[in-house]
Amino acid sequence: MVGEKTSQANNMSVRGFGVIDAIKTAVNTACLGNVVSCADILAVAARDSIVALGGSSYDVLLGRRDATTASMDDADNSIPNPFMDQPELLANFQSQGLSLRDLVVLSGAHTLGYSRCVFYRDRLYNETGSLDPTYAAALDERCPPAGDDEALASLDDTPTTVDTDYYQGITQGRALLHTDQQLYLGDGGDSDALVQYYAESPDKFWEDFGAAMLKLGGLSPLTGEDGEVREDCRVVNRG
- Specify binding-site residues for Ca(2+): 4, 111, 156, 158, 163
Binding-site annotation, residues for heme b: 110
Asked whether 132 and 24 are in contact (CB, 8 A), the reply is no
Residues in a beta bridge with 152: 116
Q: CA geometry: angle at 182 spanning 178 and 187, to 5°? A: 140
Cα separation values, 131 from 56, 62, 123, 155, 197, Å: 30, 42, 9, 14, 21
Chain CA centroid to CA 129, Å: 26
Q: CA geometry: angle at 234 spanning 72 and 211, to 5°? A: 70
Binding-site annotation, residues for substrate: 80
**SS3 of 118, please?**
helix
- The alpha carbons of the chain give a radius of gyration, in whole angstroms, of 19
112/118 Cα distance (integer angstroms) = 19
Q: How many CB atoms are closer than 10 A to CB 17?
A: 11
Segment (H or E) for 152:
strand 152-154
**Among candidate residues 37, 35, 61, 33, the one with its CA nearest the CA of residue 236:** 37
Binding-site annotation, residues: 4, 80, 110-111, 156, 158, 163
